[in-house]
Amino acid sequence: MITINEHYLKLQASYLFSDIARRVAAFQEKNPQIEVIKLGIGDVTKPLPAACISAFHKAIDEMAVDSSFRGYGPEQGYAFLREAIATHDFQARGADIGADEIFVSDGAKCDTGNIQELFSQQTRIAIPDPVYPVYLDTNVMAGRTGSYKDGRYEGIVYLDSTWENNFVPSLPEQKVDLIYLCFPNNPTGSTITKAELQNWVEYARETNALILFDAAYEVFIRDESLPRSIYEIPGAKEVAIEFRSYSKNAGFTGTRCAYTVVPKECRAYDSMGTKQLLHPLWNRRHCTKFNGVSYPVQRAAEATYSAEGKVQVRELADYYLKNAALVRQEMAHLNFRFVGGENSPYVWIDGGRDSWEFFDMLLNKAGVVCTPGAGFGRCGNGYIRISAFNSPENVQKAMTRIREALS
Ligand code: PLP
């Protein structure tokens, strides 16, 4: 008899986006004349930068000719892209990361979800609340949690991110082995300072723990004092793996390209307490289960590092950041307290009431869709997330409608 992995039965069906869609559909049926403005999604709306498009075209033409055609590529990514990443994303900022420490992939979602395979079943896991749900769900699937009770899985150490700690969780009181951190944060839009990140690196070094650092929103950082990579922190290479993506910086959500950095000296331990390096393990996993990102997509990603590509990527992020500034301005005017939106495309707003109640009010009174914070974890209740991924015209229109509805 074939039996299932019963850990899947513990998973909470994600009602968040289907619930939102159902409420929006019901509103539109009753109010067909109102054009609903969607500021709920985390997907980009602008097309790929021109530099990426022309590199993409060129690479496709190469695939049409015998002499430049390419079949299976290296699973870890082509040297041209890995070298560009190491040079521009790390060495240029004083982080000593080499091309052979980069693993190119088709998404930070897959990588942050798959990385847990390297660790034992007994690993004690710390996950922020609120959180990008992939970290949690993939550990549930792998059987590292108990069942779901009162909005939380047994066996997980939740790191509360609240107004009081400025949405940067404090070090856990109990011992943990694996820590997920994401900055700039989804959903809160909060950032971490070098000193705060240094605390986490020191904690991991002192307690033989490992940090998984998700920097998918790095491109939105405008405050030069903030770290863009965990490897800007001394001592991080032994204790941290970093995830990056072209989804949000260059609009690759539908094109798919990302990468993971596993430094050569990054370590974990076997059951005898002997140090084991993670680079060969991730390399083995990647080569066994992944066939590499397509050649044209890697050429398009490489183009983000060309002189014109860098300017276009910056303009793209600025475009969304201007929208975020409009949201911040309006929320301040309406006397809501909020974080995010300065170094992040998300603004996290304290509605002073239940998240869903606030969601319904914005939908019914202003025809604007946001994301209720409760969908990202227990600490998200009372908050909503407004995303800057839309046109400036729509964001402006949405803010005017919210002002009229709430004033
Ligand atoms: N990490 C975070 C925090 C995200 O919010 C997202 C997407 O929304 C991802 C990773 C996924 O990125 P990718 O498109 O590269 O899979």
Q: What is the CATH number for 102?
A: 3.40.640.10
Residue nearest to atom 12 of ligand 1 (CA): 108
Q: Give the pLDDT confidence score for residue 14 in this predicted structure.
A: 73
Contact predicate 149/13, CB 8 Å: no
CA of 250 to the centre of ligand 1 (A): 13
100 with 249, same domain: the answer is yes
Residue with the bigger pLDDT between 45 and 17: it is: 45
Residues 290-313 have a mean pLDDT of 98
CA of 360 to the centre of ligand 1 (A): 26
Mean pLDDT of the chain: 97
Report the candidate in 21, 89, 48, 23 with the shortest Cα–Cα distance to residue 297: 48
300 with 312, same domain: the answer is no
Contact predicate 230/236, CB 8 Å: yes
Contact predicate 348/190, CB 8 Å: yes
Which residues contact residue 281 at a Cβ distance below 8 angstroms, ignoring those fewer than 6 apart? 118
CA of 45 to the centre of ligand 1 (A): 15
Task: Point out the domain boundary residue: 252, 274, 306.
Answer: 306
The set of protein residues with a Cβ atom below 6 angstroms from ligand 1 is 42, 107-109, 112, 132, 182, 186, 214, 216, 245, 247, 253, 258
Q: Which of 109, 212, 293 has most ligand 1 atoms within 8 Å of CB, for mutation? A: 109
206 phi, psi to nearest 5 deg: -70, -30
160 with 251, same domain: the answer is yes
CA dist., res. 40 & res. 20, Å (int) = 9
**Domain total of the chain:** 2
CA of 108 to the centre of ligand 1 (A): 5
Residue nearest to atom 11 of ligand 1 (CA): 109
Contact predicate 323/388, CB 8 Å: yes
* pLDDT tens per residue across span 198-248: 999 999 999 999 999 999 999 999 999 999 999 999 999 999 999 999 999
169 with 87, same domain: the answer is yes
229 with 341, same domain: the answer is no
* pLDDT tens per residue across span 339-365: 999 999 999 999 999 999 999 999 999
Q: Give the pLDDT confidence score for residue 145 in this predicted structure.
A: 97
144 with 236, same domain: the answer is yes
281 with 331, same domain: the answer is no
Task: Point out the domain boundary residue: 306, 334, 367.
Answer: 306
Between CA 132 and CA 138, with CA 133 as vertex, the angle to 5 degrees is 130
Q: Tell whether 281 is covered by a domain.
A: yes
Residues 141-157 have a mean pLDDT of 95
CA of 97 to the centre of ligand 1 (A): 22
CA dist., res. 407 & res. 404, Å (int) = 6
40 with 59, same domain: the answer is no
Task: Point out the domain boundary residue: 306, 336, 362.
Answer: 306
70 with 42, same domain: the answer is no
Q: Tell whether 342 is covered by a domain.
A: yes
Q: Tell whether 1 is covered by a domain.
A: no
Q: Tell whether 251 is covered by a domain.
A: yes
Q: Tell whether 122 is covered by a domain.
A: yes
CATH value at residue 372:
3.90.1150.10
Contact predicate 204/150, CB 8 Å: no
Q: Tell whether 271 is covered by a domain.
A: yes
Q: Give the pLDDT confidence score for residue 32 in this predicted structure.
A: 95
Q: Give the pLDDT confidence score for residue 217 in this predicted structure.
A: 98
Which residues contact residue 95 at a Cβ distance below 8 angstroms, ignoring those fewer than 6 apart? 229, 231, 232
- pTM as predicted: 0.97
In which domain, by residue range, is 10 found?
6-47+308-406
Distances in Å between the Cα of 110 and the Cα atoms of 60, 80, 115, 160, 179 are 25, 22, 8, 25, 17
